[in-house]
Amino acid sequence: MRSRFSLPVSTLASGHALSIPVLTITGAKPGPRVGVSAMIHGDEIDGLLIIRELWRSIDPAELSGSLWLMPVANPLAMEAISRNTPIDMLDMNRLFPGSPDGWLSEQQAHVITTGFISQVDCLIDIHAGGTFPWVDYCYVLNDEALSRAFLSALLYKPSSMYPATTASVALARNIPITVVEIGGGYRDQDEHVKNGVRGVCNMMRHVGALPGSAEQRPRQLLLHEIKVMRPRHGGICVPARQLTPGSWLDAGEKLADIVSPYSFDTLETMTAPFERNVVVLTRNYVTRINPGDYTFMVGNGSTAVWYD
């Protein structure tokens, strides 16, 4: 059975009601309630496209338990193609579990915490690189096998997670959680959507929501350290060459020049930071850039380990 409901948040100054839609598929057999969320950041459309295909393709007759889908966790940010909520310009994924009487982003986070995250047995939160960068990896948090089941080539187990995220809420409630980073950038997203649907369905097999055994991917690389490369200067980002997540780079290898759009002088050159480097997030085309923007993410290959 397929159904829909909305989580009411507030009334905007325009008089329009703000709510967060949720799509549900209820299976023919008992089983876990799996939650899949996307677009907490409104410039990360891949999760929405993956959820769209899940909604189209999951057969309730094959499903054990239920699937709760939140395609757009931050509707105003999606409308503005913005990482942050336009009304208060806050990053909602640094405000969980939120507050019922805080900033609008905090109110939204509170509604998602109480009405969605706390209601599911496991959570898959999908993110992407955004408008310009391309990313492809999966966090390992409180259920290593669940994370591996997404079938990403790159996995990341941080020493500490960003505070006040969907993941921190799930961790505090002992809800198995995987944060996925997939796609984005100036490229065709079809491959990422296909891989995302395949990965989520494989995770659902792992938890018993879909029939069959979960597929295993050999030679997944587990990273323990990732450096986010942010420029000190804004201007035009001119990549040295096209890169693919999972590519290995030598120490000091050039990533990009940051160039003035007015004088065309090179303001800054960004280089690979470690002795052995693994590309996690990349910009492959000339784009405008602000100081502090996500430009590259590079994993420390010297401390990484291979899963066979």
Higher pLDDT pick, 161 / 84 = 84
The pLDDT value recorded for residue 289 is: 97
Q: Does one domain contain both 156 and 242?
A: no
- How do strand 122-127 and strand 177-183 relate by DSSP bridges? parallel
The pLDDT value recorded for residue 4 is: 98
- Asked if 95 and 165 touch (Cβ cutoff 8 Å), the reply is no
Which of 203, 209, 181 has the alpha carbon at shortest distance from 38? 181
Band of residue 211 on the pLDDT scale cut at 50, 70, 90: very high
Q: What is the domain-level CATH number for residue 245?
A: 2.40.50.100
The pLDDT value recorded for residue 83 is: 96
C-alpha count within 13 angstroms, C-beta hemisphere, residue 80:
14
In-domain check, residue 85 = yes
Report residue 2 as tokens. Answer: 């397929």
In-domain check, residue 305 = no
Residue at token pair 């040295």: 240
Q: What is the largest CA-CA distance in the chain?
A: 65
Q: Does one domain contain both 98 and 231?
A: no
- Give CA separation, 110 vs 115, 117, 120, in Å: 8, 10, 15
Band of residue 234 on the pLDDT scale cut at 50, 70, 90: very high
**36-95 confidence digits (pLDDT tens):** 999 999 999 999 999 999 999 999 999 999 999 999 999 999 999 999 999 999 999 999
Band of residue 308 on the pLDDT scale cut at 50, 70, 90: confident
- Asked if 67 and 25 touch (Cβ cutoff 8 Å), the reply is yes
pLDDT of 131 above 80: yes
Q: Does one domain contain both 205 and 88?
A: yes
The pLDDT value recorded for residue 18 is: 98
pLDDT of 161 above 90: no
Q: Does one domain contain both 289 and 148?
A: no
- Helix, strand and coil content of the chain, in percent to the nearest 5, comes to 20, 35, 45
**How much is the mean pLDDT over the chain?**
97
Out of 45-49, 177-181, 186-190, least confident range: 186-190
Last residue of a domain, one of 196, 217, 238: 217
Last residue of a domain, one of 217, 248, 265: 217
Total structural domains within the chain: 2
CA 62/CA 17 separation, integer angstroms: 36
Report the alpha-carbon angle 155-156-159, nearest 5. 155
Band of residue 186 on the pLDDT scale cut at 50, 70, 90: confident
Task: Name the region of 206 (left: φ>0; alpha: ψ -120 to 50; beta: rest).
Answer: alpha
Identify the domain containing residue 103 by its residue range: 2-217
The pLDDT value recorded for residue 16 is: 96
The angle that helices 46-57 and 190-206 make with each other, rounded to 10 degrees, is 60
Q: Does one domain contain both 172 and 234?
A: no
Report residue 72 as tokens. Answer: 């757009």
